[in-house]
């Protein structure tokens, strides 16, 4: 099974000693996969992360950093409009759209930011 990771979980992958990191690694060891949108990857890269953390996270994604496509852009715009056109929410719409189009659940530590997209096809996964 492939699960899309929100930015906050991309950060957790590279944090040694993190309980969430241990859960994420256990998930991978069961033969599952992680993916991320280029939008989530860009947000991750904006943070203050060490090069080794970036390499660990990139390896966990195993090249499943997905380009943001035209159908994803159209879905993100629809999510933005259907969920109230909230200022500052378009990035979340883009991340959710990538998971919806990829037919994969999204995992995030910010459930409240993404629950509003469930009626429009987003599936959430928790660890």
Residue with tokens 């970036």: 54
Structural domain contains residue 111: yes
Structural domain contains residue 42: yes
- Total domains in the chain come to 1
Q: Please answer whether residues 34 and 5 qualify as being in contact, where contact means their C-beta atoms are separated by less than 8 angstroms.
A: yes
Structural domain contains residue 73: yes
Across the range 32-46, mean pLDDT stands at: 96
Q: Does pTM surpass 0.85?
A: yes
C-alpha to C-alpha distance for 47 and 45, rounded to whole angstroms: 5
C-alpha to C-alpha distance for 53 and 51, rounded to whole angstroms: 5
Across the range 14-41, mean pLDDT stands at: 94
Tens of pLDDT along 75-110?
Answer: 999 999 999 998 989 999 999 999 999 999 999 999
Structural domain contains residue 126: no
Structural domain contains residue 62: yes
Q: Please answer whether residues 117 and 79 qualify as being in contact, where contact means their C-beta atoms are separated by less than 8 angstroms.
A: yes
Structural domain contains residue 127: no
Classified as helix, coil or strand, 108 is coil
C-alpha to C-alpha distance for 41 and 20, rounded to whole angstroms: 18
Q: Residue 70 is part of which domain span?
A: 2-120
Structural domain contains residue 96: yes
Q: What is the CATH number of the domain that holds 15?
A: 3.40.50.1010
Tens of pLDDT along 41-70?
Answer: 999 999 889 999 999 999 999 989 999 999
Question: Whose CA is closest to 36, among 70, 8, 73, 14?
Answer: 8
């Amino acid at each position: 099974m492939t699960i899309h990771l929100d930015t906050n979980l991309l950060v957790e992958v590279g944090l040694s000693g993190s309980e969430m990191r241990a859960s994420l690694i256990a998930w991978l060891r069961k033969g599952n996969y992680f993916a991320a949108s280029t939008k989530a990857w860009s947000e991750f890269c904006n943070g203050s992360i060490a090069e080794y953390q970036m390499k660990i996270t990139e390896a966990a994604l195993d090249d499943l950093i997905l380009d943001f496509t035209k159908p994803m852009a159209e879905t993100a715009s629809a999510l933005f409009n259907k969920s109230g056109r909230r200022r500052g929410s378009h990035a979340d719409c883009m991340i959710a759209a990538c998971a919806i189009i990829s037919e994969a659940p999204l995992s995030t530590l910010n459930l409240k930011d993404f629950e509003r997209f469930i009626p429009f096809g987003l599936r959430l996964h928790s660890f």
